Amino acid sequence: MYKRTGQIIIVLLSLYFIGRIFYNNWEDVSVSLTNIASGPLIISIIIFSLTFFLLSSLWHYLIFGKRYGLATSNQLYLKANLLRYIPGNIWGIGARIIFFNHLGIAKAKLIFFLFYESVLMVLSGGLVFLIFSLFFNAPTYLIILALIMTLVLTILAFKPAFILRLVNLFGSTEIELGTNKNRIYYFLAYIIYWLLSGMATYFLAQSILGVGNVSYVKFSAIYIVSWLIGYLSIITPSGIGVRELTFTYLLSTMISQQEAGLIAIMSRLVFTVGELLSYFSSLLIYKLISQQHGRLPAQ
């Protein structure tokens, strides 16, 4: 009972900080909401929600390697993800370790896959940005940075001995990554994640700027590099502020600063709404499956 109560309190605390994000940005976007096309905006939210389901499913297959228990993993992963919004930058990571450790996964193994997931996320994002940068005049320093990062992380992704040695400091455990073929499948799945995220950003920009005024490649590339900079930032929880500043700065080279700022703020809000939608959807699916089996899987 105490464990359940503690989880509820932490989730409510996360929702409070998420609510503050909306409250703090509402004045900036409320005036422009009447001019935003609802159709592309709704599509953007749905696609962002699907990207979170993709991430949670990939995490499940990384640590379990099988489909059984996917609904349980999804709702635990997405619940832990919400805790990223609590200041401190450790709540989401700590919650994921605790939640999945209760499912019988060793902490050392979870720490390894947290590192490995980050490697695949950043590597795939960097590669997609590099490919997209071929089709527009991306800043040279960003291309060089993405190239260096991609080369280093490719080694870690396919020869993760360094990550294993680091994880062994937290305890020895057997970790099975499968063949390089399996790793390529995971890598391609994360690329799909970035392509979908870019598509969500594309529709968001369409809702503000109008159809025909948005380039999928350019807006996707700018979103990806802004997301990565925010992700790698340890200044704020979930890169809040860092990502938006980067997004605004890079977009302002293509559109007005006011439009760039609005899209940057809306991207955070729509991203967060998509995340909330994915969590509550996963919770509903989890409850329905649990009722069909006549029991609730471990939480």
- Please give the structure tokens belonging to residue 158: 């396919």
For 143-162, write each residue's pLDDT tens digit.
888 888 888 888 777 777 77
Q: How many Å apart are CA 100 and CA 76, to the nearest integer? A: 8
Higher pLDDT, 259 or 200: 200
Q: What is the mean pLDDT of residues 26-38?
A: 67
Q: What mean pLDDT, rounded, does the chain reach?
A: 82
- Please give the structure tokens belonging to residue 104: 């019988």
pLDDT of residue 237: 57
Q: How many Å apart are CA 128 and CA 122, to the nearest integer? A: 10
Residue keyed to tokens 């390894």:
112
- Annotate 22-71 with DSSP letters as a single string: HHHHHHHHHTTGGGS-HHHHHHHHHHHHHHHHHHHHHHHHHHH-SSTTHH
- Cα 80 vs. chain centroid, distance in angstroms? 12
- State the amino acid at position 253 in one-letter form: T
Query: In terms of C-beta distances under 8 Å and separation of at least 24 residues, what long-range contacts does 4-12 make, across chains too?
Result: 4/299, 7/79, 7/299, 10/83, 10/86, 10/91, 10/95, 11/79, 11/82, 11/83
Best-predicted range by mean pLDDT among 21-35, 194-208, 243-257? 194-208
Burial status of residue 211 (CB atoms within 10 A of its CB: 0-12, 13-18, 19 or more):
exposed
- Annotate 180-220 with DSSP letters as a single string: HHHHHHHHHHHHHHHHHHHHHHHHHHHHHH-TTS--HHHHH
Q: Is the pLDDT of residue 183 over 60?
A: yes
Q: What is the mean pLDDT of residues 6-30?
A: 59
Q: How many Å apart are CA 283 and CA 292, to the nearest integer? A: 14
Q: Is the pLDDT of residue 7 over 70?
A: no
Q: Predicted confidence band at 31 (pLDDT cuts at 50, 70, 90)?
A: low
3-class SS string, 231-251: HHCCCCHHHCCHHHHHHHHHH
The structural domains of the chain, with segments of one domain joined by +, span 2-20+37-293
Q: Is the pLDDT of residue 18 over 70?
A: no
Q: Is the pLDDT of residue 16 over 60?
A: yes
pLDDT of residue 246: 85
Q: Is the pLDDT of residue 251 over 50?
A: yes
Q: Which stretches within 65-106 are classed as H helix?
A: 70-82, 91-101
pLDDT of residue 194: 97
pLDDT of residue 2: 45
List the single range of 38-47, 140-149, 151-160, 182-191 with lowest mean pLDDT. 151-160
SS3 177: coil
Question: What's this model's pTM, rounded to 2 decimal places?
Answer: 0.84
pLDDT of residue 172: 61
Q: Is the pLDDT of residue 33 over 80?
A: no
Q: Predicted confidence band at 107 (pLDDT cuts at 50, 70, 90)?
A: confident
